[in-house]
Amino acid sequence: MVRWLADRFRVVLIASRNATNQKNYPAFVESAALAEEWIWVDDLFGDWTTVRQAELWHERYGVRHVVCLDERGLIVAARLRGLLGVTTGQDLPSAEAFRLKNRMYELLEGAVDVPSFAVAADGFDVREAARRLGTPVVVKPVDGAGSKDTVVLRDEAALDDWLGTHPVTLDAPVLVQEFAAGDMYHVDGLTTGNEAYGVTVSRYGGSTLGYQEARPLTSAMVPLSAPAHGLLTEAVRTVLATLPDTGGSPFHAEFFLEENGHVRFCEIAARGGGAGVGPCWKLAHGADMFRAHALMQCGLAGEVLPELPAQPAGRYGWYLESSPEGRLLGLPDRCDLPGVLEYNVTGRMGQPHGGATSSIDAIQQFVVGFQGDEDERKTFDELSRWCAQHRLLVPVSAA
Burial of 60 (0-12, 13-18, 19+ CB in 10 A): exposed
Q: Considering only CA atoms, which of 69, 12, 63 is closest in space to residue 45? A: 69
Asked if residues 251 and 278 have their Cβ atoms less than 8 Å apart, the reply is no
- DSSP reduced 3-state for 207: coil
pLDDT at 141: 94
- DSSP reduced 3-state for 210: helix
pLDDT at 210: 58
Q: Considering only CA atoms, which of 378, 394, 396, 375 is closest in space to residue 386? A: 378
Q: Are strands 195-205 and 217-221 parallel, antiparallel or unpaired?
A: antiparallel
Domains of the chain, CATH where assigned: 2-98 (3.40.50.20), 116-178 (3.30.1490.20), 183-398 (3.30.470.20)
What is the pTM for the complete model shown? 0.93
Secondary structure (DSSP) of 114-158: ---EEEEEEHHHHHHHHHHH-SSEEEEETT--TTTT-EEE-SHHH
pLDDT at 397: 66
Contacts of 279 (CB under 8 A, 6+ apart): 316, 318, 342, 367
The Cα–Cα gap between 290 and 14 comes to: 18
Contacts of 294 (CB under 8 A, 6+ apart): 1, 4, 5, 67, 69
The Cα–Cα gap between 84 and 62 comes to: 9
Q: Which regions in the chain score pLDDT beneath 50? A: 22-23, 399
Instruction: Tally Cβ neighbours within 10 Å of residue 173.
Output: 15
The Cα–Cα gap between 188 and 198 comes to: 8
pLDDT at 29: 80
Q: Considering only CA atoms, which of 340, 355, 343, 339 is closest in space to residue 393? A: 355
pLDDT at 61: 97
DSSP at 339: T
pLDDT at 23: 43
Q: Considering only CA atoms, which of 179, 291, 185 is closest in space to residue 236? A: 185
